[in-house]
Amino acid sequence: MAAPRDDEAEWSAEAARRVWGGAVPLQVHLHDADVTTLPPPPPFLTLGPRIGYFPLLVPIIKAHFSSTLPPGIDTVWFEYKGLPLKWYIPIGVLYDLLCADPERPWNITVHFRGYPSEILTPCDGEDSVKWSYMNSLKEAAFIITGNSKNVMNMSQADQGALWQSVMKGNLDGYMNISTRLKLGPFEEDCLVRTSSVEGQQGSDEPESPGSGKPCMLFLH
């Protein structure tokens, strides 16, 4: 019979594989204001990786709608039922938050003009998403460990490799680097703290702050 900690580690690994391998079916509609041809173009069907970000899908979406777009500089953003979608939140998180009743495919609208800068922070494509991701990683490190030293001390090569693994959905590549940061909820030291606290506290005692219980964090 597997030990409880082994079960927790297996559960954590399986959950990670499912999230990293998961995708949200998307049906992307071009907003009427951006349509310059008749008939209007059909919607674009694609899969949005759950750990991916909408700005990273712009190249393939633009290729589909390119023949009907108005002249000018693109300022791409997405909306769902009139709500501008925050580009720095992963697609899977947005879907789970906004679709209480699963919608498949998820019907969203893309705009190439009229960026709502009063609502959304500017996005200059992949560079903006990468910067936001690394900044979130620093915040997560500080929340979990009390400092962001491990993330701040990452080499440029490791930062680049970590980001590429996110873009490509490469969990193994991501784990090769991220495990050095000791941020996972089921890291060895976290499990040791959890076990020691459970051994000290009776079932009727309230859980003390910082007891090391595994938790899930959503940033932004």
Task: Report pLDDT digits (tens) over 123-149.
Answer: 999 999 999 999 999 999 999 889 899
**Of 180, 35, 192, which Cα lies nearest the Cα of 109?**
35
- Domain spans of the chain, in order of start: 15-111, 125-195
**Which pLDDT value is given to residue 2?**
53
* Amino acid identity at 35: V
* Strand-pair partners of 64: none
For residue 66, give both structure tokens.
């390119």
Side by side, which strands form the sheet with 23-30?
44-49, 23-30, 106-111, 77-80, 83-84
Task: Report pLDDT digits (tens) over 70-124.
Answer: 999 999 999 999 999 999 999 999 999 999 888 999 999 999 999 999 999 999 9
Task: Report pLDDT digits (tens) over 166-191.
Answer: 999 999 999 999 888 877 554 444 44
Q: Are 26 and 105 in contact (CB under 8 A)?
A: yes
> What is the topology classification, in CATH, of domain 15-111?
Ubiquitin-like (UB roll) (3.10.20)
> pLDDT at residue 45 above 60?
yes
CATH superfamily of 125-195: Autophagy protein Apg5, helix rich domain (1.10.246.190)
